[in-house]
Every structure is written in structure tokens, then in C-alpha cells.
Amino acid sequence: MKAWSTVVGILLIVLGVIALAYGGITYTREKTVIDLGPIEARAEQRETIPLPPVLGVLALVGGVVLLVKSPRQG
């Protein structure tokens, strides 16, 4: 059980830091603008999914809590 909580804790910390550093996820989508038989025009459109800073802080705190509260093996 300790191994899973450690992995999830580290993953949450990494995701929290990324969410705070970048503020969102940006991706490129290809869109067809004109389609007239053999003639086709496409455009690339960049879109961003914003991530609120609160989400990054919550992930960071949750990861730290999981690492601190995980049962110690002795």
C-alpha cells in the first residue's frame, strides 16, 4: 500500500508544479476552412485549456500529504 501512495503523491506533486508553472494545457487542432471538391484549405488553430492556480496548489498539497501520511515501514 505504501508504494501506491508514494507514487500517487509524487505524481500529484509533479502535476501541481506543472499546473502552477504553465497555467494551462495548450494544443494545436487542425480545422478545415474550405472544402470544394478537390480544393481544400486547412488552418491550424491553437487552443488552451486553462488550469486555475488553486488546482495546482491542491494537487501539490495533496501530494505532500500523501507522502507525509503514508505508513512507515520499519
Q: How confident is the model at residue 73 (pLDDT cuts 50, 70, 90)?
A: low
Q: What's the pTM value of the predicted model, to 2 decimals?
A: 0.65
Taking only the tens place, the pLDDT of each residue in 24-34 is 888 999 998 89
Taking only the tens place, the pLDDT of each residue in 33-53 is 898 888 999 999 999 888 889
Kindly list the distances between the CA atom of residue 74 and the CA atoms of 2, 63, 65, 68, 69, in Å, as whole numbers in the listed order.
12, 22, 20, 15, 15
Interacting residues of 26 by C-beta distance below 8 A, sequence separation 6+: 46, 47, 48, 49
pLDDT of 57 above 90 = yes
